[in-house]
Amino acid sequence: MEGLPEYLARKKNYINDHLIQYIYEYTDEGRLREAMLYSVQAGGKRLRPILLLATAEAYGENEIKAMAAACALEMIHTYSLIHDDLPAMDDDDVRRGQMTSHRKFDEATAILAGDALLTLSFQVIAEEENLTSEERIFLVKELSSASGGRGMVAGQMLDMQSEDKQVSLHALETIHKNKTGRLLNFAVSAGAYIGNASQEERKELVNMGEALGLIFQIQDDILDVTGDAEVMGKPVGSDEGNFKSTYPKLLGLDGAMEQKNNYVQQAQQSLIAAGAEGTMLSKLIDYLSKRDH
Amino acid sequence: MEGLPEYLARKKNYINDHLIQYIYEYTDEGRLREAMLYSVQAGGKRLRPILLLATAEAYGENEIKAMAAACALEMIHTYSLIHDDLPAMDDDDVRRGQMTSHRKFDEATAILAGDALLTLSFQVIAEEENLTSEERIFLVKELSSASGGRGMVAGQMLDMQSEDKQVSLHALETIHKNKTGRLLNFAVSAGAYIGNASQEERKELVNMGEALGLIFQIQDDILDVTGDAEVMGKPVGSDEGNFKSTYPKLLGLDGAMEQKNNYVQQAQQSLIAAGAEGTMLSKLIDYLSKRDH
């Protein structure tokens, strides 16, 4: 089997090409397009769309049928970063080592570029002719559910309200399940659906996706304590200065690592139950739990 | 036939009920839901969704099949108002006689409420079981196209860039066609599609929709000169103080009225060609061209 680094690099290029192509195809206005391309090309790892493609592939489907959903997911993720970075939200000047959208352009442009990417995500799924109408509708339903007022946006809202407050572990996990988890869940659930996995297998994969979301978040919090700012492209220790609740703060650094390892075991077990052990997904779980940026 | 005022009032109530129901059904987080409901209940005339329903009805379809698309359209319109009112965009404190979302809540909440409404618009179409998958996909395609980077958002971007500049009549119409026209076009095109109008009839209706968008905008500009602030729920004369291009500024007040009447004639002719003369649509054209708020 191809090694994970080669696999990640290959998929990332493929996804990037399609993202750029979609934006050119469906956006006329010059400055708007420039801002959309700027954020999409800001050097993300494309973990979410790669997870979607890898899941479809684990069940024998090729990436052509899965590409629109994968890119739609990355567009949602990108729009959420643009809006989260705004002065009224997290007020961040730098993201992935480069200026955030409202710093590079202006606030109005950043708001509109986010709105356009969100809209485009549903458009590219609806326009994907390698999927049947039933498949496209399933994906629009799932993606809107994962990213809307009972998903990512709700999580962001909860996160804003918990700022400068010490919250319980349970409340923290509710925030992350919505803010980060639902999109990761969409990645595996959409990939499994496109790959024609059975209902039973999809259920197990959703469990895996849930664990993966928490692994992802715990590692984020751990990196904010132990990470290398150079490697990460953003300052570390930013959680410490404020009252933001994190796993290391609630459980200690060792406790957070242990909690993460529990979720890794859970995720690998769900993967076995879903009949997808030994696929690229298994390597992805390990990779996400050990990533250094 | 029922009179237009009764028809408008009846449809408005029906649409309001559904909008509220959809928001409750698909939004969990309390403050987010509150903000979405606040803007949706801010007393809009519901012209866009009523136009959609009236078009479907003109071709014999009842409103049940058309309601999801009608509400989706109003959600897009509402989200665009919330985002347009933000300090980084038009910086408006009052809309329809009440505080704008970011003044009533805060900027972050307003941004997220807009994002959630935009997402919900596609969700309610995808979930509508009175439509086939093909019909739902058609509507998602059309709505995303009308509202995204080649439609409404592009128009908003052009509008921001033309601020404090005197632009040509042609440039002004390009802005309005995108910013206002595309959604009105969606109303008639989606209504005609749901009502099973023929390709030929739909083409004529799209022409009507285009004229209607311009009528709508010219009347807006005229009201800013001649309107009654009390009736309109917003200050008049706001275009005069800045360098914003308007029809009365470019053509004079009489010229603007004449231009509007040309478009009214065009719209009525297209309606006849579409075989929908004598329906509620004909009354709606007159109503929109003469409205006082």
Three-state SS letters, B22-49? HHHHHCCCHHHHHHHHHHHCCCCCCHHH
Per-residue pLDDT 10s for chain A (293 aa) are 788 999 999 999 999 999 999 999 999 899 999 999 999 999 788 999 999 999 999 998 888 999 999 999 999 999 999 999 999 999 999 988 899 999 999 999 999 999 999 999 999 999 999 999 999 999 999 999 999 999 999 999 999 998 878 888 888 888 988 988 999 999 999 999 999 999 999 999 999 998 998 998 899 899 988 877 666 666 666 666 566 778 998 899 999 999 999 999 999 999 999 999 999 999 999 999 998 87
For CA atoms B167, B188, B46, B157, the dihedral sign is negative
In angstroms, what CA-CA distances link A12 with A30, A51, A79, A162? 25, 11, 18, 34
pLDDT at residue B238, as a whole number? 64
A230, exposed or middle or buried, with CB in 10 Å at 0-12, 13-18, 19+? exposed
Q: Do A127 and B136 touch (CB under 8 A)?
A: no
> What digits encode the pLDDT tens for the residues B218-256?
998 999 888 776 666 666 666 665 667 789 988 999 999
Sequence ranges of the domains in chain A: 4-290
Give kind and range of the element (H or E) at residue B189: helix B182-194
A171 touches chain B (CB under 8 A): no
Residue B99, H or E segment: strand B98-99
Chain A / chain B CB contacts < 8 angstroms: 168
Interatomic CA distance for residues B97 and B230, integer angstroms: 9
At B73, list the tokens.
């359209």
Residue B61 structure tokens: 């379809």
- The sign of the dihedral angle between the CA atoms of A38, A41, A43, A44 is positive
Rounded to two decimals, the ipTM of the complex is 0.93
From chain B, pick out residues whose CB is under 8 angstroms from the CB of A149.
23, 26-29, 32-33, 36, 116, 119-120
Angle at A133 between CA B195 and CA B75, to 5 degrees: 60
Tell me the one-letter amino acid at A124: V
Cα distances (angstroms) measured from residue A287 to each of A215, A231, A233, A284, B79: 10, 16, 19, 5, 39
User: Taking Cα atoms as reference points, which of A57, A48, A43 lies closest to residue A212?
Assistant: A48
Contact B28 A156 (CB under 8 A): no
Residues 6+ apart with CB under 8 A from B265: none
Specify the CATH class of A4-290 in words.
mainly alpha
A24 contacts chain B (CB < 8 A): no
Give the pLDDT of residue A138.
98
Judged by DSSP in three states, B95 sits in strand
Residue B211, C-beta contacts closer than 8 angstroms, at least 6 positions apart: B263, B264, B266, B267, B270
Q: Which residue of A has its CA nearest to B147?
A: A119
